[in-house]
Structure 1
């Protein structure tokens, strides 16, 4: 996953958003960094999902990006967005043959089930 720029932006965004929320005083720079990574992660995810190459479209790292976005939406009480991400994740899981399609990666299965 560490080689995937979309995943990198999703993790950077998630971490920055957590630090922003935990900080007693969020600064404009902190917000800018978070928004920059969030925007880039979404842009790259949209491009990936529109791509005709199914291996990358339905890859483990794509699933992890969607999980990052979903967790952040829950963290910020944005349940409509979280639901949309979960519906998209469900489609990918189904296209990969259900949870059995992830049997080689039990940690990812646990994250999906959360």
Structure 2
């Protein structure tokens, strides 16, 4: 029973907003892109971790596409072949700083193979 002077204590909207915020933070922090020991590793929340040997990469391409579908809007497309089978991997690069993406792109571009095997981690953008 609700009287005129009583305030409603329905927390449903606040709980929904809070759950959405928590999910967004988990999604954002799940992204990790590393290069070390000749392997490019890319982790997402739902896609798991993909590992690609740099020696198997034949081409890289940065792309921005509003065409929809399941592909990331801003992505690095990695093309190559593993045991004779061609592959294509899309890496969502919108969550990483542009300068870091450019440095990573230059270090694994087939025309500019990395000279060292020191691990490189790309940090997510803050805010």
Q: TM-score, normalised by structure 1?
A: 0.30
- Structure with the greater alpha carbon radius of gyration: 2
Greater helix fraction, Structure 1 or Structure 2: 1
Q: TM-score, normalised by structure 2?
A: 0.28
Greater strand fraction, Structure 1 or Structure 2: 2
